[in-house]
Copies of this chain bind each other. A is one copy, B any other.
Amino acid sequence: MIRICVVEDEEKVSSFIKKGLNEHNYEVDIADTGEAALEMVQANDYNLLILDVMLPDISGIEICRQIRKHQPQLPVLMLSALGTIDDKVNGLHSGADDYLVKPFHFNELLARIEALLRRKKLTDGDSHILSFGGLKLNTWDKTAEREGKQINLTAKEYSLLELLMNNPGKLLSREYIMERVWGINFDTGTNMVDVYVNYLRNKIQKGFDKKLIHTVIGMGYILKD
């Protein structure tokens, strides 16, 4: 769940933003003073901050500077009724990543939020490890690991295992596997899927207790405990 903190004293605006973002599956907290904002940002682990400039106590510009000292990574989108070039430049110079002038259209706010989060995610490197039942698949170096033991896979083995790990608990037909791992054309005469499932079983569950790849007769294969 992505958590966003909205710092805004006008209840009408903050609830409008909150409602809209909630509909897009973001979790939203509201701070209605600068003081409250600083505390909340300190205490919680937000993914993004929406910061109004005009607040009753501390200015948004100052809040942004404060936050940047301790949390330079947190994306900040500044919001303000002040729309002159100098206002924008000041806001951005104080450390904001974007500056949107009020009144704004919700869709633009949303698109800008998404752009900021997209950039953040890129650099954080979203996890590249797929996990299932003690088995880990590293999609960067294309290796597998089970209980600390490295397992080397060939290209087709990797491709097949990745497909299974992306669909845990889901039954995959031979036709579907053939299509995804080998390409479109399924030639009914071949049993390569079976052969490769067998190779994979030898590598990932020989010498281990739990089976992970199960056969469902007449249907296909499934990854489950």
What residues of chain A have their CB less than 8 Å away from a CB belonging to chain B? 72-73, 75, 85-86, 88-89, 92-93, 95-99, 105, 107-108, 110-112, 114-116, 118-119, 122-123, 140-142, 154-156, 158, 169-171, 216-219, 222, 224
What is the CA–CA distance of A75 and B97 in the complex, to the nearest angstrom? 12
A85 to B112, CA, bound (A): 11
Select A108's contact among B85, B115, B141, B142, beta carbons within 8 Å: B85
- Pairwise interchain contact A108-B93, C-beta atoms closer than 8 A: no
**Distance in Å: Cβ of A216 to nearest Cβ of chain B:** 6
Copies in the complex: 2
- Would B88 and A111 count as touching, CB distance under 8 A? yes
Closest 8 CB pairs of A and B: A155-B218, A123-B123, A92-B111, A85-B105, A89-B111, A140-B170, A92-B115, A142-B171
Q: Are A154 and B111 in contact (CB-based, < 8 A)?
A: no
Chain B residue with the shortest CB-CB distance to A121: B72
What's the minimum C-beta distance from A104 to chain B, rounded to whole angstroms? 9
Alpha-carbon gap, A77 to B85, bound state (A) = 17
Q: Enumerate chain B residues within 8 angstroms of A114, measured Cβ to Cβ.
A: 92-93
A140 and B223 CA atoms in complex are apart in Å by 11
Q: Which of B92, B115, B218, B222 contacts A97 (CB 8 A)?
A: B115
Complex Cα spacing A129 to B122, Å: 22
A142 touches B89 (CB 8 A): no
Q: Which of B88, B107, B118 contacts A89 (CB 8 A)?
A: B107
A111 touches B93 (CB 8 A): yes
Question: Which residues of B lie under 8 Å from residue A99 when comparing CB positions?
Answer: 112
The chain B residue with its CB closest to the CB of A93 is B111
